[in-house]
Amino acid sequence: MFKKTALAFALLLLLNSCAVQDKNFSENDWYAFTKTNTQRIKPSEVYEFTDEMIRMHGDNIGYLMTNKSYKNFELTLEFRWNIEEKFNKGKAKKNSGVMYNIPADSPDNIWPKGIQFQMKENTTGDFIFLDNVTAIVNGKLVEAGASVTSPKFSANENSYGEWNQVLIHSFNGKITQYLNGKLVNECVGASSKEGKISLNYEGSPVDFRNIRLKSISKEEN
């Protein structure tokens, strides 16, 4: 009787662990792709992995893309603008982004099909729907296009150079985007519901850390 109970308990723990999986990303989970190359590249040959951070700087505009696709997840990460003088060549507004729900069969290009959490100095939190991805925002269907922006409805970015926390909750086409604990954008009916995740480097030196993903089994309240 004890053995049966122990086995049942072990199976229950296994099922629970399968239902909710926490993932911490390492260099092996990514590949790099840049505007000047046609092939996938080892991440550390393009960007810097150091001090538990990913530091993206230099001349290679491109991205880090996950090798795997994900569906129904909560993604959290932190980013900050790298303000070291040696990496900053201009005074344009800092610009980057986190993309997700990038279809697995979408070809590598700058930039791929999917949904982006826009990271842009003083305007972080917009949706950008790329390559005809659509969704319903504030009750209105976003018009399909090559790159369509749906502005954030609230601002909450920390001071220049400080760490910011991003949280993206995606479940069957319903998506909420949080910045530093505050809801800044949301949509329903997204046409792209699953896929890969990328960290974009658009020429503005930026650091990422604490990138974690949790599989979820129900819609956010």
For the chain, which residues score pLDDT lower than 50? 2-20
Residue 219: its pLDDT value, please?
A: 77
Determine the residue type at 62: G
Residue 121: its pLDDT value, please?
A: 86
- Selection from 164, 199, 212 nearest residue 56 by Cα: 199
Determine the residue type at 119: M
Domain boundaries of the chain, sorted by first residue: 22-215
The mean predicted confidence, pLDDT, of the chain is 90
With 0-12 / 13-18 / 19 or more C-beta atoms within 10 angstroms meaning exposed / middle / buried, residue 109 is exposed
Rounded distance between C-alpha atoms, residue 55 and residue 81, angstroms: 10
Is residue 1 helix, strand or coil? coil
Q: What is the pLDDT of residues 155-195, one digit of tens each?
A: 999 998 899 999 999 999 999 999 999 999 999 999 999 99
Whether the CB-CB separation of 150 and 187 falls below 8 Å is answered with yes
CATH superfamily of this structure's domain 22-215: Exo-inulinase; domain 1 (2.60.120.560)
